[in-house]
């Protein structure tokens, strides 16, 4: 019996103060990247999707997609 499936793994890039498109206030926003993986016996083998960067407003909880390159450049410049 072979066990295979899919799993989404993510990592938090960091937080930055930006304007929220939902509540229209300057707020700390958490940026995270996610990617789906093919798994074999619960071990991630290879990615099956590209990176997706999501920003979450810490005031209202609104989530929206962000361009991957802009988000990575934002945190590389801060480091």
Q: Which of 79, 52, 56 is nearest to 68 (CA)?
A: 52
pLDDT tens digit sequence for 2-40: 788 988 999 999 999 999 999 999 999 999 999 999 999
CB 44 within 8 A of CB 60: no
Q: Using 50, 70 and 90 to split pLDDT, how confident is the model at 77?
A: low
* Mean pLDDT within 41-69: 92
pTM of the predicted protein model: 0.79
Computed over every residue of the chain, the mean pLDDT equals 90
- Is the Cα torsion angle 70, 71, 72, 76 positive or negative in sign? positive
């Amino acid at each position: 019996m072979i066990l295979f499936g899919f799993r989404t793994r993510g990592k938090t890039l960091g937080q930055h103060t930006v304007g929220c498109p939902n509540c229209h206030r300057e707020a700390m926003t958490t940026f995270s990247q996610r990617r789906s993986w093919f798994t074999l016996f619960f071990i991630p083998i290879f990615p099956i999707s590209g990176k997706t960067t999501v920003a979450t407003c810490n005031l209202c909880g609104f989530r929206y997609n962000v361009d991957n390159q802009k988000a990575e450049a934002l945190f590389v410049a801060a480091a």
